[in-house]
Protein backbone atom coordinates (compact mmCIF):
# COMPACT_ATOMS: atom_id res chain seq x y z
CA UNK A 1 0.00 0.00 0.00
CA UNK A 2 1.52 3.36 -0.95
CA UNK A 3 2.34 5.55 2.07
CA UNK A 4 0.45 8.45 0.53
CA UNK A 5 -2.78 6.57 -0.26
CA UNK A 6 -5.67 7.68 1.92
CA UNK A 7 -7.29 4.78 3.79
CA UNK A 8 -10.62 4.49 5.58
CA UNK A 9 -11.48 2.10 8.42
CA UNK A 10 -15.07 1.59 9.62
CA UNK A 11 -15.11 0.97 13.36
CA UNK A 12 -18.81 1.54 13.96
CA UNK A 13 -22.15 2.18 12.23
CA UNK A 14 -21.35 -0.55 9.68
CA UNK A 15 -24.31 -2.91 9.34
CA UNK A 16 -25.84 -1.14 12.33
CA UNK A 17 -27.09 2.38 13.08
CA UNK A 18 -24.96 3.28 16.11
CA UNK A 19 -21.31 3.61 17.08
CA UNK A 20 -20.29 5.83 14.16
CA UNK A 21 -16.49 5.97 13.89
CA UNK A 22 -14.44 6.34 10.69
CA UNK A 23 -10.64 6.26 10.79
CA UNK A 24 -8.85 8.09 7.97
CA UNK A 25 -5.10 7.53 7.59
CA UNK A 26 -2.57 9.22 5.34
CA UNK A 27 0.95 8.02 6.03
CA UNK A 28 1.47 8.48 9.77
CA UNK A 29 -1.42 10.96 10.13
CA UNK A 30 -4.71 9.75 11.62
CA UNK A 31 -8.05 11.57 11.63
CA UNK A 32 -11.35 10.28 13.02
CA UNK A 33 -14.75 11.37 11.79
CA UNK A 34 -17.03 10.72 14.80
CA UNK A 35 -16.38 8.48 17.79
CA UNK A 36 -19.77 7.22 18.90
CA UNK A 37 -21.31 4.84 21.41
CA UNK A 38 -22.84 1.54 20.30
CA UNK A 39 -26.47 1.30 21.43
CA UNK A 40 -28.97 -1.55 21.17
CA UNK A 41 -28.57 -5.17 22.23
CA UNK A 42 -26.30 -6.10 25.16
CA UNK A 43 -23.91 -7.84 22.74
CA UNK A 44 -23.66 -4.70 20.62
CA UNK A 45 -23.17 -2.49 23.67
CA UNK A 46 -20.32 -4.75 24.81
CA UNK A 47 -18.34 -3.47 21.80
CA UNK A 48 -17.99 -0.21 23.75
CA UNK A 49 -15.85 -2.12 26.26
CA UNK A 50 -13.33 -3.46 23.76
CA UNK A 51 -10.06 -1.59 23.17
CA UNK A 52 -10.13 0.79 20.24
CA UNK A 53 -8.82 -0.92 17.07
CA UNK A 54 -6.28 1.93 16.86
CA UNK A 55 -3.93 3.65 19.29
CA UNK A 56 -5.90 6.58 20.76
CA UNK A 57 -2.67 8.44 21.59
CA UNK A 58 -1.73 8.41 17.88
CA UNK A 59 -5.00 9.93 16.67
CA UNK A 60 -4.17 13.49 15.60
CA UNK A 61 -7.68 15.01 15.44
CA UNK A 62 -11.40 14.27 15.38
CA UNK A 63 -14.08 15.90 13.25
CA UNK A 64 -17.52 15.48 14.78
CA UNK A 65 -20.63 15.52 12.59
CA UNK A 66 -23.07 16.21 15.46
CA UNK A 67 -23.71 15.80 19.17
CA UNK A 68 -25.86 12.65 19.29
CA UNK A 69 -24.27 10.07 21.59
CA UNK A 70 -24.10 7.37 18.90
CA UNK A 71 -21.68 9.73 17.10
CA UNK A 72 -19.93 11.41 20.06
CA UNK A 73 -20.38 9.09 23.05
CA UNK A 74 -16.95 7.42 22.99
CA UNK A 75 -15.01 10.69 22.88
CA UNK A 76 -14.50 10.59 26.69
CA UNK A 77 -13.05 7.09 26.41
CA UNK A 78 -10.82 8.26 23.55
CA UNK A 79 -9.44 11.11 25.68
CA UNK A 80 -9.03 8.84 28.71
CA UNK A 81 -7.04 6.43 26.51
CA UNK A 82 -4.56 9.13 25.46
CA UNK A 83 -6.06 11.27 22.69
CA UNK A 84 -4.65 14.79 23.01
CA UNK A 85 -5.80 16.50 19.79
CA UNK A 86 -8.63 18.84 18.85
CA UNK A 87 -12.27 17.87 18.29
CA UNK A 88 -13.51 20.01 15.39
CA UNK A 89 -17.23 20.72 15.08
CA UNK A 90 -19.77 23.52 14.61
CA UNK A 91 -20.33 26.00 17.44
CA UNK A 92 -23.84 24.67 18.29
CA UNK A 93 -22.42 21.13 18.48
CA UNK A 94 -19.73 22.31 20.90
CA UNK A 95 -22.38 24.03 23.05
CA UNK A 96 -24.48 20.85 23.12
CA UNK A 97 -21.52 18.60 23.94
CA UNK A 98 -20.94 20.41 27.22
CA UNK A 99 -24.13 18.80 28.50
CA UNK A 100 -24.32 15.67 26.33
CA UNK A 101 -20.90 14.29 27.32
CA UNK A 102 -21.23 15.14 31.01
CA UNK A 103 -24.64 13.45 31.06
CA UNK A 104 -23.25 10.42 29.21
CA UNK A 105 -20.61 10.06 31.92
CA UNK A 106 -23.23 10.25 34.66
CA UNK A 107 -25.31 7.61 32.86
CA UNK A 108 -22.27 5.31 32.67
CA UNK A 109 -21.65 5.77 36.40
CA UNK A 110 -25.29 5.29 37.43
CA UNK A 111 -25.82 2.27 35.15
CA UNK A 112 -22.73 0.58 36.63
CA UNK A 113 -23.99 1.28 40.16
CA UNK A 114 -27.50 0.01 39.31
CA UNK A 115 -26.20 -3.24 37.84
CA UNK A 116 -24.03 -3.80 40.89
CA UNK A 117 -27.12 -3.46 43.12
CA UNK A 118 -29.16 -6.03 41.17
CA UNK A 119 -29.72 -9.27 43.08
CA UNK A 120 -29.57 -11.37 39.88
CA UNK A 121 -25.97 -10.12 39.34
CA UNK A 122 -24.71 -10.79 42.87
CA UNK A 123 -22.47 -13.65 41.69
CA UNK A 124 -20.80 -11.59 38.94
CA UNK A 125 -17.73 -9.34 39.14
CA UNK A 126 -18.54 -5.66 39.86
CA UNK A 127 -19.30 -3.51 36.84
CA UNK A 128 -17.09 -0.45 36.35
CA UNK A 129 -18.29 2.55 34.32
CA UNK A 130 -17.02 2.88 30.77
CA UNK A 131 -16.07 6.46 31.64
CA UNK A 132 -17.06 9.15 34.11
CA UNK A 133 -18.64 12.60 34.08
CA UNK A 134 -15.17 14.06 34.55
CA UNK A 135 -13.95 12.22 31.44
CA UNK A 136 -16.89 13.72 29.54
CA UNK A 137 -15.97 17.24 30.55
CA UNK A 138 -12.33 16.70 29.60
CA UNK A 139 -13.43 15.63 26.13
CA UNK A 140 -15.70 18.67 25.80
CA UNK A 141 -12.72 20.87 26.68
CA UNK A 142 -11.02 19.71 23.47
CA UNK A 143 -13.77 20.99 21.14
CA UNK A 144 -12.75 23.58 18.56
CA UNK A 145 -15.69 25.30 16.81
CA UNK A 146 -15.52 26.05 13.09
CA UNK A 147 -18.07 27.77 10.85
CA UNK A 148 -19.96 26.02 8.06
CA UNK A 149 -18.40 26.41 4.62
CA UNK A 150 -14.92 27.42 5.81
CA UNK A 151 -11.88 25.31 4.88
CA UNK A 152 -9.66 24.33 7.81
CA UNK A 153 -6.72 21.98 8.39
CA UNK A 154 -7.44 19.61 11.31
CA UNK A 155 -4.05 17.89 10.84
CA UNK A 156 -1.23 18.23 8.34
CA UNK A 157 -2.15 16.76 4.97
CA UNK A 158 -5.91 17.01 5.52
CA UNK A 159 -8.18 19.88 4.49
CA UNK A 160 -11.81 19.85 5.62
CA UNK A 161 -15.02 21.79 5.27
CA UNK A 162 -18.41 21.37 7.00
CA UNK A 163 -21.83 21.56 5.33
CA UNK A 164 -25.28 21.77 6.89
CA UNK A 165 -26.73 18.24 7.16
CA UNK A 166 -30.22 19.33 8.28
CA UNK A 167 -30.38 16.57 10.92
CA UNK A 168 -30.22 18.34 14.30
CA UNK A 169 -28.91 21.62 15.69
CA UNK A 170 -25.30 21.97 14.56
CA UNK A 171 -25.21 18.81 12.42
CA UNK A 172 -22.81 18.73 9.48
CA UNK A 173 -21.54 16.69 6.57
CA UNK A 174 -17.73 16.53 6.33
CA UNK A 175 -15.86 17.27 3.09
CA UNK A 176 -12.26 16.02 3.09
CA UNK A 177 -9.32 16.46 0.72
CA UNK A 178 -6.20 14.41 1.44
CA UNK A 179 -3.56 12.56 -0.59
CA UNK A 180 -5.12 13.74 -3.85
CA UNK A 181 -8.49 12.19 -2.90
CA UNK A 182 -11.67 14.25 -2.51
CA UNK A 183 -14.55 12.76 -0.52
CA UNK A 184 -17.66 13.57 1.50
CA UNK A 185 -19.07 11.94 4.65
CA UNK A 186 -22.79 12.64 4.94
CA UNK A 187 -23.09 12.29 8.70
CA UNK A 188 -26.77 11.87 9.58
CA UNK A 189 -29.00 13.64 7.07
CA UNK A 190 -32.29 15.34 7.83
CA UNK A 191 -35.53 15.00 5.83
CA UNK A 192 -37.30 17.71 3.90
CA UNK A 193 -39.76 19.83 5.90
CA UNK A 194 -37.62 19.41 9.01
CA UNK A 195 -38.45 21.85 11.80
CA UNK A 196 -35.73 24.33 12.83
CA UNK A 197 -33.24 23.62 10.01
CA UNK A 198 -32.89 24.12 6.23
CA UNK A 199 -32.54 21.10 3.93
CA UNK A 200 -29.09 19.44 3.68
CA UNK A 201 -26.51 21.15 1.52
CA UNK A 202 -23.21 20.22 -0.11
CA UNK A 203 -21.15 20.29 -3.29
CA UNK A 204 -20.95 17.73 -6.12
CA UNK A 205 -18.20 15.73 -7.87
CA UNK A 206 -16.23 13.45 -5.57
CA UNK A 207 -13.87 10.51 -5.71
CA UNK A 208 -15.70 8.77 -2.86
CA UNK A 209 -18.84 9.39 -0.79
CA UNK A 210 -19.95 7.88 2.54
CA UNK A 211 -23.74 8.06 2.96
CA UNK A 212 -25.91 7.06 5.90
CA UNK A 213 -28.72 4.58 5.14
CA UNK A 214 -30.86 4.47 8.28
CA UNK A 215 -34.11 4.64 6.29
CA UNK A 216 -32.72 3.24 3.06
CA UNK A 217 -35.65 0.83 2.74
CA UNK A 218 -38.46 3.15 3.82
CA UNK A 219 -40.39 5.96 2.25
CA UNK A 220 -42.36 8.10 4.66
CA UNK A 221 -45.31 10.25 3.85
CA UNK A 222 -43.75 13.68 3.37
CA UNK A 223 -45.89 15.86 5.57
CA UNK A 224 -45.80 19.57 6.12
CA UNK A 225 -45.23 20.71 9.69
CA UNK A 226 -48.93 21.63 9.89
CA UNK A 227 -49.97 18.13 8.76
CA UNK A 228 -47.60 16.57 11.29
CA UNK A 229 -49.22 18.60 14.04
CA UNK A 230 -52.61 17.34 12.92
CA UNK A 231 -51.40 13.76 13.41
CA UNK A 232 -49.97 14.56 16.82
CA UNK A 233 -53.24 16.21 17.89
CA UNK A 234 -55.19 13.09 16.87
CA UNK A 235 -52.86 10.79 18.82
CA UNK A 236 -52.99 12.98 21.93
CA UNK A 237 -56.77 13.22 21.80
CA UNK A 238 -57.17 9.44 21.53
CA UNK A 239 -54.67 8.80 24.33
CA UNK A 240 -56.18 11.27 26.80
CA UNK A 241 -59.69 9.96 26.08
CA UNK A 242 -58.64 6.67 27.72
CA UNK A 243 -57.93 8.48 30.99
CA UNK A 244 -54.32 7.32 31.35
CA UNK A 245 -50.95 8.86 30.65
CA UNK A 246 -49.37 9.43 27.25
CA UNK A 247 -45.75 8.32 27.57
CA UNK A 248 -43.39 9.46 24.79
CA UNK A 249 -39.82 8.08 24.66
CA UNK A 250 -37.72 10.94 23.31
CA UNK A 251 -34.16 11.85 22.54
CA UNK A 252 -33.21 14.77 24.75
CA UNK A 253 -31.60 16.46 21.77
CA UNK A 254 -33.85 17.76 18.95
CA UNK A 255 -36.87 15.42 19.25
CA UNK A 256 -37.84 16.92 22.60
CA UNK A 257 -37.59 20.47 21.27
CA UNK A 258 -39.60 19.67 18.12
CA UNK A 259 -42.37 18.14 20.20
CA UNK A 260 -42.41 21.08 22.59
CA UNK A 261 -42.78 23.48 19.68
CA UNK A 262 -45.72 21.49 18.29
CA UNK A 263 -47.35 20.99 21.69
CA UNK A 264 -47.18 24.72 22.41
CA UNK A 265 -48.80 25.49 19.07
CA UNK A 266 -51.55 22.89 19.60
CA UNK A 267 -52.33 24.02 23.15
CA UNK A 268 -52.35 27.70 22.22
CA UNK A 269 -54.60 26.91 19.27
CA UNK A 270 -56.93 24.96 21.61
CA UNK A 271 -56.41 21.87 19.45
CA UNK A 272 -55.59 19.74 22.51
CA UNK A 273 -56.39 20.15 26.23
CA UNK A 274 -53.88 22.11 28.31
CA UNK A 275 -52.91 19.02 30.33
CA UNK A 276 -49.58 19.07 32.17
CA UNK A 277 -46.60 18.12 30.00
CA UNK A 278 -43.71 16.73 32.03
CA UNK A 279 -40.26 16.73 30.44
CA UNK A 280 -38.56 14.20 32.68
CA UNK A 281 -34.97 14.65 31.63
CA UNK A 282 -32.49 17.07 33.19
CA UNK A 283 -30.46 16.77 29.99
CA UNK A 284 -33.45 17.78 27.86
CA UNK A 285 -33.82 20.88 30.02
CA UNK A 286 -30.17 21.83 29.46
CA UNK A 287 -30.34 21.11 25.73
CA UNK A 288 -33.51 23.17 25.43
CA UNK A 289 -31.53 26.06 26.90
CA UNK A 290 -28.97 25.69 24.10
CA UNK A 291 -31.78 25.77 21.52
CA UNK A 292 -33.13 28.94 23.13
CA UNK A 293 -29.66 30.51 22.95
CA UNK A 294 -29.54 29.72 19.21
CA UNK A 295 -33.16 30.74 18.54
CA UNK A 296 -32.11 33.32 15.96
CA UNK A 297 -30.53 30.55 13.86
CA UNK A 298 -33.64 28.34 13.94
CA UNK A 299 -36.40 28.29 11.36
CA UNK A 300 -40.09 28.21 12.39
CA UNK A 301 -39.65 30.05 15.70
CA UNK A 302 -39.33 33.67 14.56
CA UNK A 303 -36.37 34.34 16.88
CA UNK A 304 -38.55 33.83 19.99
CA UNK A 305 -38.27 31.15 22.68
CA UNK A 306 -41.15 28.69 22.11
CA UNK A 307 -40.09 26.41 24.96
CA UNK A 308 -41.47 28.53 27.80
CA UNK A 309 -45.10 27.57 28.27
CA UNK A 310 -47.30 27.29 31.38
CA UNK A 311 -48.17 23.66 30.50
CA UNK A 312 -44.51 22.60 30.40
CA UNK A 313 -42.90 21.25 33.56
CA UNK A 314 -39.21 20.33 33.44
CA UNK A 315 -38.48 17.56 35.95
CA UNK A 316 -35.02 17.71 37.47
CA UNK A 317 -34.61 15.46 40.53
CA UNK A 318 -35.40 11.77 40.92
CA UNK A 319 -37.94 12.31 43.70
CA UNK A 320 -40.04 14.53 41.46
CA UNK A 321 -39.79 11.91 38.71
CA UNK A 322 -41.04 9.18 41.06
CA UNK A 323 -44.05 11.29 42.02
CA UNK A 324 -45.21 11.05 38.41
CA UNK A 325 -46.11 7.40 39.14
CA UNK A 326 -49.34 8.66 40.71
CA UNK A 327 -50.30 10.74 37.67
CA UNK A 328 -53.06 9.99 35.19
CA UNK A 329 -54.09 12.06 32.21
CA UNK A 330 -50.66 13.66 31.72
CA UNK A 331 -48.14 13.72 28.88
CA UNK A 332 -44.76 12.37 30.04
CA UNK A 333 -41.73 12.79 27.80
CA UNK A 334 -38.56 11.04 28.96
CA UNK A 335 -35.23 9.88 27.54
CA UNK A 336 -33.81 7.74 26.08
CA UNK A 337 -35.51 7.58 22.72
CA UNK A 338 -34.88 3.84 22.19
CA UNK A 339 -35.70 3.02 25.85
CA UNK A 340 -32.23 1.64 26.51
CA UNK A 341 -31.39 3.83 29.50
CA UNK A 342 -32.59 6.80 31.51
CA UNK A 343 -35.90 7.63 33.16
CA UNK A 344 -38.09 6.34 30.32
CA UNK A 345 -37.57 2.79 31.59
CA UNK A 346 -38.98 3.81 34.95
CA UNK A 347 -42.10 5.26 33.30
CA UNK A 348 -42.53 2.22 31.08
CA UNK A 349 -42.49 -0.04 34.14
CA UNK A 350 -45.34 1.99 35.64
CA UNK A 351 -47.42 2.44 32.49
CA UNK A 352 -46.95 -0.51 30.13
CA UNK A 353 -49.21 -2.75 32.20
CA UNK A 354 -52.03 -0.16 32.31
CA UNK A 355 -54.67 -0.57 29.59
CA UNK A 356 -55.60 3.11 29.85
CA UNK A 357 -52.04 4.29 29.12
CA UNK A 358 -50.52 4.95 25.70
CA UNK A 359 -46.88 4.75 24.60
CA UNK A 360 -46.17 6.86 21.52
CA UNK A 361 -42.92 6.30 19.60
CA UNK A 362 -41.67 9.25 17.55
CA UNK A 363 -38.22 8.04 16.50
CA UNK A 364 -36.22 5.18 15.03
CA UNK A 365 -35.97 2.06 17.19
CA UNK A 366 -32.79 0.10 16.50
CA UNK A 367 -32.88 -3.67 16.19
CA UNK A 368 -32.28 -5.27 19.58
CA UNK A 369 -33.47 -2.24 21.58
CA UNK A 370 -36.28 -2.35 24.14
CA UNK A 371 -38.21 0.22 22.10
CA UNK A 372 -38.05 -2.02 19.01
CA UNK A 373 -39.38 -5.00 21.00
CA UNK A 374 -42.35 -3.00 22.33
CA UNK A 375 -43.10 -1.44 18.96
CA UNK A 376 -43.09 -4.84 17.24
CA UNK A 377 -45.74 -6.20 19.60
CA UNK A 378 -43.97 -7.94 22.50
CA UNK A 379 -46.52 -9.14 25.05
CA UNK A 380 -44.02 -8.97 27.87
CA UNK A 381 -40.67 -7.22 28.20
CA UNK A 382 -37.87 -7.27 30.74
CA UNK A 383 -36.94 -3.95 32.34
CA UNK A 384 -34.16 -3.70 34.93
CA UNK A 385 -34.45 -7.38 35.78
CA UNK A 386 -38.26 -7.38 36.08
CA UNK A 387 -40.90 -8.83 33.75
CA UNK A 388 -43.50 -6.29 32.64
CA UNK A 389 -46.68 -7.18 30.77
CA UNK A 390 -47.55 -4.91 27.83
CA UNK A 391 -51.22 -3.93 28.00
CA UNK A 392 -50.84 -0.25 27.09
CA UNK A 393 -51.86 1.09 23.69
CA UNK A 394 -48.74 1.25 21.48
CA UNK A 395 -48.61 3.88 18.75
CA UNK A 396 -46.02 5.48 16.46
CA UNK A 397 -45.62 8.62 14.36
CA UNK A 398 -42.67 8.41 11.97
CA UNK A 399 -42.97 11.95 10.59
CA UNK A 400 -40.86 13.28 13.49
CA UNK A 401 -37.81 11.37 12.33
CA UNK A 402 -34.69 13.48 12.07
CA UNK A 403 -33.39 11.14 9.36
CA UNK A 404 -33.82 11.37 5.61
CA UNK A 405 -36.01 8.62 4.17
CA UNK A 406 -35.25 6.59 1.06
CA UNK A 407 -36.35 9.26 -1.41
CA UNK A 408 -34.39 11.94 0.48
CA UNK A 409 -31.25 9.76 0.50
CA UNK A 410 -31.49 9.02 -3.23
CA UNK A 411 -31.91 12.74 -3.96
CA UNK A 412 -28.88 13.55 -1.78
CA UNK A 413 -26.72 10.94 -3.54
CA UNK A 414 -27.86 12.24 -6.95
CA UNK A 415 -26.83 15.76 -5.93
CA UNK A 416 -23.29 14.56 -5.08
CA UNK A 417 -22.66 12.97 -8.49
CA UNK A 418 -20.54 12.27 -10.39
CA UNK A 419 -18.85 9.86 -7.96
CA UNK A 420 -15.73 8.61 -9.73
CA UNK A 421 -14.80 5.96 -7.15
CA UNK A 422 -17.03 4.31 -4.56
CA UNK A 423 -20.19 5.05 -2.63
CA UNK A 424 -20.08 3.58 0.90
CA UNK A 425 -23.41 2.89 2.62
CA UNK A 426 -23.00 3.11 6.39
CA UNK A 427 -25.18 3.75 9.44
CA UNK A 428 -27.94 1.32 8.48
CA UNK A 429 -29.28 -2.18 9.02
CA UNK A 430 -29.05 -4.85 6.32
CA UNK A 431 -32.45 -4.26 4.73
CA UNK A 432 -31.97 -0.50 4.48
CA UNK A 433 -28.47 -0.83 3.06
CA UNK A 434 -29.42 -3.40 0.42
CA UNK A 435 -32.48 -1.43 -0.72
CA UNK A 436 -30.44 1.76 -1.09
CA UNK A 437 -27.60 -0.14 -2.80
CA UNK A 438 -29.99 -1.36 -5.50
CA UNK A 439 -31.31 2.13 -6.13
CA UNK A 440 -27.81 3.66 -6.28
CA UNK A 441 -26.55 1.02 -8.70
CA UNK A 442 -29.62 1.56 -10.86
CA UNK A 443 -28.79 5.26 -11.09
CA UNK A 444 -25.31 4.81 -12.46
CA UNK A 445 -23.10 4.54 -9.35
CA UNK A 446 -20.70 1.80 -10.46
CA UNK A 447 -19.10 0.89 -7.12
CA UNK A 448 -21.38 0.64 -4.07
CA UNK A 449 -19.87 -0.85 -0.90
CA UNK A 450 -21.58 -1.95 2.32
CA UNK A 451 -18.64 -2.06 4.79
CA UNK A 452 -18.50 -4.36 7.78
CA UNK A 453 -17.15 -3.49 11.23
CA UNK A 454 -13.36 -2.98 11.24
CA UNK A 455 -12.93 -3.28 7.48
CA UNK A 456 -10.29 -0.97 5.97
CA UNK A 457 -10.32 0.39 2.42
CA UNK A 458 -7.82 2.20 0.23
CA UNK A 459 -9.27 5.33 -1.39
CA UNK A 460 -7.37 6.06 -4.62
CA UNK A 461 -8.33 9.21 -6.55
CA UNK A 462 -10.77 8.59 -9.39
CA UNK A 463 -10.93 4.81 -8.92
CA UNK A 464 -13.10 2.39 -6.90
CA UNK A 465 -12.00 1.73 -3.34
CA UNK A 466 -10.00 -1.43 -2.60
CA UNK A 467 -10.49 -3.51 0.53
CA UNK A 468 -7.21 -3.74 2.44
CA UNK A 469 -8.42 -5.51 5.57
CA UNK A 470 -11.47 -7.66 6.25
CA UNK A 471 -13.56 -7.25 9.36
CA UNK A 472 -13.63 -9.70 12.26
CA UNK A 473 -16.37 -12.29 11.46
CA UNK A 474 -17.17 -12.51 15.18
CA UNK A 475 -18.36 -8.90 15.10
CA UNK A 476 -21.17 -9.81 12.70
CA UNK A 477 -22.94 -11.58 15.56
CA UNK A 478 -22.99 -8.35 17.56
CA UNK A 479 -25.25 -6.64 15.03
CA UNK A 480 -29.01 -6.95 15.50
CA UNK A 481 -30.97 -9.31 17.77
CA UNK A 482 -28.67 -11.21 20.13
CA UNK A 483 -28.93 -14.11 22.59
CA UNK A 484 -29.75 -11.77 25.48
CA UNK A 485 -32.72 -10.40 23.53
CA UNK A 486 -33.82 -14.01 22.94
CA UNK A 487 -33.25 -14.86 26.61
CA UNK A 488 -35.31 -11.87 27.80
CA UNK A 489 -38.09 -12.73 25.36
CA UNK A 490 -38.02 -16.42 26.41
CA UNK A 491 -38.01 -15.80 30.15
CA UNK A 492 -40.76 -13.18 30.05
CA UNK A 493 -43.00 -15.66 28.22
CA UNK A 494 -41.92 -18.79 30.09
CA UNK A 495 -44.24 -18.65 33.12
CA UNK A 496 -47.23 -17.75 30.95
CA UNK A 497 -46.47 -20.55 28.47
CA UNK A 498 -46.04 -23.14 31.24
CA UNK A 499 -49.35 -22.06 32.77
CA UNK A 500 -51.06 -22.86 29.44
CA UNK A 501 -50.10 -26.57 29.78
CA UNK A 502 -53.22 -28.31 30.99
CA UNK A 503 -51.91 -30.33 33.95
CA UNK A 504 -49.15 -30.10 36.56
CA UNK A 505 -47.37 -33.31 35.52
CA UNK A 506 -46.93 -32.13 31.93
CA UNK A 507 -45.65 -28.78 33.16
CA UNK A 508 -43.05 -30.61 35.28
CA UNK A 509 -42.15 -32.73 32.24
CA UNK A 510 -41.62 -29.60 30.14
CA UNK A 511 -39.29 -28.19 32.79
CA UNK A 512 -37.34 -31.47 32.98
CA UNK A 513 -36.93 -31.51 29.20
CA UNK A 514 -35.62 -27.93 29.15
CA UNK A 515 -33.14 -28.77 31.91
CA UNK A 516 -32.04 -31.85 29.98
CA UNK A 517 -31.28 -29.73 26.92
CA UNK A 518 -29.09 -27.37 28.97
CA UNK A 519 -27.38 -30.35 30.64
CA UNK A 520 -26.57 -31.83 27.22
CA UNK A 521 -24.74 -28.63 26.23
CA UNK A 522 -22.81 -28.72 29.50
CA UNK A 523 -21.81 -32.35 28.91
CA UNK A 524 -20.75 -31.58 25.33
CA UNK A 525 -18.50 -28.75 26.55
CA UNK A 526 -16.92 -31.08 29.12
CA UNK A 527 -16.20 -33.71 26.43
CA UNK A 528 -14.65 -31.08 24.16
CA UNK A 529 -12.44 -29.81 27.00
CA UNK A 530 -11.35 -33.38 27.79
CA UNK A 531 -10.52 -34.07 24.13
CA UNK A 532 -8.43 -30.90 23.90
CA UNK A 533 -6.56 -31.91 27.05
CA UNK A 534 -5.78 -35.36 25.59
CA UNK A 535 -4.47 -33.71 22.40
CA UNK A 536 -2.13 -31.48 24.41
CA UNK A 537 -0.64 -34.28 26.54
CA UNK A 538 1.45 -35.98 23.78
CA UNK A 539 2.78 -32.56 22.72
CA UNK A 540 3.71 -31.77 26.33
CA UNK A 541 5.54 -35.13 26.70
CA UNK A 542 7.48 -34.57 23.47
CA UNK A 543 8.43 -31.07 24.66
CA UNK A 544 9.67 -32.49 27.98
CA UNK A 545 11.84 -35.04 26.11
CA UNK A 546 13.29 -32.22 24.04
CA UNK A 547 11.93 -33.53 20.76
Domains for the chain: give ranges and CATH numbers: 7-219+402-481 (3.60.15.10), 225-400 (3.40.50.10890), 483-520 (no CATH)
**522: which residues sit within 8 A by CB, 6+ positions away?**
none
Helix (H, G, I), strand (E, B) or coil at 53: coil
Edge-to-edge strands, sheet with 393-396? 312-315, 277-280, 331-334, 246-249, 358-361, 393-396
The stretches in the chain having pLDDT less than 50 are 1
User: What is the DSSP pairing of strand 208-212 with strand 422-426?
Assistant: parallel
Q: At what angle do helices 483-499 and 504-545 cross, to 10 degrees?
A: 150
364 dihedral zone (left: phi>0; alpha: psi -120 to 50; beta): beta
Please answer whether residues 184 and 191 qualify as being in contact, where contact means their C-beta atoms are separated by less than 8 angstroms: no
State the pLDDT at residue 530: 78
- DSSP letters spanning 77-114: HHHHTT--SEEEE-HHHHHHHHHHHHHHHHHHHHHHHH
CA–CA distance, 41 with 19 (Å, rounded to integer) = 13
Residues 188, 193, 195, 201, Cα dihedral to 10°: 50
Bridge partners of residue 358, in order along the sequence: 246, 393
- For residue 434, the model assigns a pLDDT of 97
Give the Cα separation of 13 and 184 in Å (integer).
16
Dist. CA 170–CA 110, nearest whole Å: 28
Query: Which residues lie across from 174 on neighbouring strands?
Result: 162, 185
What region does 513 belong to: left with phi over 0, alpha with psi -120 to 50, or beta?
A: alpha
Strand extents, DSSP E, 319-407 = 331-334, 358-361, 380-383, 386-389, 393-396
CB-CB neighbours of 385 under 10 Å: 12
Predicted TM-score (pTM) of the model is: 0.82
Is the Cα torsion angle 426, 430, 433, 438 positive or negative in sign? positive
Residue 313 three-state SS:
strand
Other residues' Cβ atoms within 10 Å of the Cβ of residue 279: 26
Q: What is the pLDDT of residue 246?
A: 98
Nearest to 458 by CA among 11, 8, 3, 4: 8
Secondary structure E strands in 200-337:
208-212, 246-249, 277-280, 312-315, 331-334
pLDDT for res 486: 64
CB neighbours of 261 closer than 8 A, spacing ≥ 6? Answer: 195, 300, 301, 306, 307
Amino acid sequence: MPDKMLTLGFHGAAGTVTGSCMEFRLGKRCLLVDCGLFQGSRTLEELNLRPFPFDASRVDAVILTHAHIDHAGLLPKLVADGFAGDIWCTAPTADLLQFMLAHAGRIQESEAARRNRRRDRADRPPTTPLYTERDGMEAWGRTRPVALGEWFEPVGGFRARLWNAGHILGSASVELAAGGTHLLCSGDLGPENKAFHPDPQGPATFDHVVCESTYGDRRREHLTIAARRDKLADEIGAALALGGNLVIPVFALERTQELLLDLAMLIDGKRIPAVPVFIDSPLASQVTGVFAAHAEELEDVGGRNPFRHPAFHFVHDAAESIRLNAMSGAIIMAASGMCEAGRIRHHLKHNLFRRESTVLFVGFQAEGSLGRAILEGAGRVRISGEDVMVRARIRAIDSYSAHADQSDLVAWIDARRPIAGSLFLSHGEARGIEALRGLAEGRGVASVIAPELDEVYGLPPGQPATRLKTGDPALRHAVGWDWENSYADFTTRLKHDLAQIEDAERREQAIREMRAVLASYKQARAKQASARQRERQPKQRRHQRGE
